């Protein structure tokens, strides 16, 4: 019914974790980035991860859209880490994520045991980095889809979690500035070059070449959007009625 991605990541224990703690840098052993959406997926997740040797001690959301914030449903004892712009957005739009989740659930006939509670939210440095075991996760700003957003780069294992960018199933959804969106694609390009696997928020994980192709297609799409094309050629695989609807919304927002 929907394609959303959550990424679990872990790294070996840090030799220098005491030093890391002394510097005040957060240090974790296993992390869940973004979240599944459906209640049965969230219920199955802790057991599924544990059997694969992942015991998350940290949750991270790439941005403050409701479909990325559900990690605490699976791991209620953990705080949710987000970049400062996402934390600011949550404060500026109190209850918005909860309302949007409720509306989507109603549309999809999804029932939940309880409404979404964000609990303790932890502000992460963006741009910046956090320690995962003995390794480092880079946090890069990624705004334009929304006014907040970050991409998470795990350089040691070649994985880039792009948030809601570089999707093979969704055209760029430009809810913040077109210029910001372009700047984010430019910032992501060298990260994609350095990655082996790129995981978008929605759609499939890509190898580097596929992600670079999608990035080019998205730049072309933004050009067409900026020209105000009513019916631009949409990329192969994304030329659907739903994506035409998203395009019409993009055009409307930029008017």
Beta 128-132 vs 135-141: how paired, if at all? antiparallel
Residue 36 CB contacts under 8 Å (≥ 6 apart), including other chains: 4, 6, 42, 45, 70, 74
β-pair partners for 81: 60, 122
Nearer to Zn ion, 6 or 195 (CB): 6
Residue 195 CB contacts under 8 Å (≥ 6 apart), including other chains: 153, 158, 159, 160, 208, 211
- Told to check if 149 binds Zn ion by CB under 5 A, we report no
Nearer to Zn ion, 65 or 217 (CB): 65
Give min distance, CB of 12 to Zn ion, in A: 31
- Told to check if 201 binds Zn ion by CB under 5 A, we report yes
Report the candidate in 81, 175, 90, 164 with the shortest Cα–Cα distance to residue 121.
Answer: 81
Give min distance, CB of 66 to Zn ion, in A: 8
Give min distance, CB of 201 to Zn ion, in A: 4
Question: How far is CA 101 from each of CA 44, 88, 251, rounded to the nearest angstrom?
Answer: 20, 19, 25
Give min distance, CB of 23 to Zn ion, in A: 33
- Told to check if 67 binds Zn ion by CB under 5 A, we report yes
- Binding-site residue total for Zn ion (CB under 5 A)? 4
Q: Which stretch binds Zn ion (CB under 5 A): 119-127, 192-200, 201-209, 233-241?
A: 201-209
- Told to check if 164 binds Zn ion by CB under 5 A, we report yes
Q: Which residues bind Zn ion (CB under 5 A)?
A: 65, 67, 164, 201
């Amino acid at each position: 019914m929907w394609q959303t991605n959550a990424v679990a990541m872990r790294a070996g224990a840090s030799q220098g974790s005491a030093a890391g703690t002394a510097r005040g840098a957060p240090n974790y052993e296993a992390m869940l980035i973004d979240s599944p959406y459906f209640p049965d997926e969230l219920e199955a997740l802790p057991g599924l991860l544990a059997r694969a040797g992942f015991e998350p001690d940290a949750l991270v959301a790439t941005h403050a859209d409701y479909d990325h914030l559900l990690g605490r449903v699976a791991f209620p004892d953990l705080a949710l880490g987000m970049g400062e712009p996402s934390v600011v957005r949550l404060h500026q739009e109190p209850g918005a994520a909860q309302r949007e989740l409720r509306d989507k659930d109603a549309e999809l006939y999804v029932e939940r045991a309880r409404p979404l509670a964000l609990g303790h939210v932890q502000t992460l440095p963006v741009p910046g980095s956090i320690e995962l075991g003995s390794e480092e996760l880079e946090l890069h700003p990624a705004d334009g889809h929304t006014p907040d957003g970050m991409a998470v780069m795990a350089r040691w294992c070649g994985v880039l979690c792009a948030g809601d960018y570089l999707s093979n199933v969704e055209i760029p959804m430009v809810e913040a500035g077109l210029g910001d969106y372009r700047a984010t694609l430019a910032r992501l390009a060298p990260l994609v070059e350095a990655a082996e696997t790129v995981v978008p928020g929605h759609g499939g994980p890509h190898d580097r070449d596929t992600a670079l192709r999608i990035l080019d297609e998205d730049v072309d799409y933004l050009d067409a959007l900026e020209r105000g094309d009513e019916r631009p050629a949409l990329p192969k695989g994304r030329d659907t009625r739903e994506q035409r609807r998203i395009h019409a919304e993009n055009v409307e927002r930029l008017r």
